[in-house]
Amino acid sequence: MAKKTVATLHAGKEGRSYTKVIKMVKSPKTGAYIFDEQMVPNDKVQDFFKK
């Protein structure tokens, strides 16, 4: 029987205060779109999308 690997990002209640955000950004070199993925605190999500 295979073992399951479970990734936990929270130790106590700290991990639940983060959100994974993904923003599509146009590359200045090639002109193709790339994805900017980050884990940011919940209160900083709106600031991530404003920049």
Query: In the chain, where are the structural domains located?
Result: 16-50
Write the single-letter amino acid at 40: V
Pick from 4, 35, 2: which is nearest to 20 by CA?
A: 35
The DSSP code for 11 is S
Pick from 28, 16, 13, 23: which is nearest to 47 by CA?
A: 23
pLDDT of residue 16: 79
Output the pTM of the full model: 0.56
pLDDT of residue 30: 93
Helix (H) and strand (E) counts in the chain: 1, 2
User: pLDDT tens for residues 5-44?
Assistant: 666 555 556 557 999 999 999 999 999 999 999 999 999 9
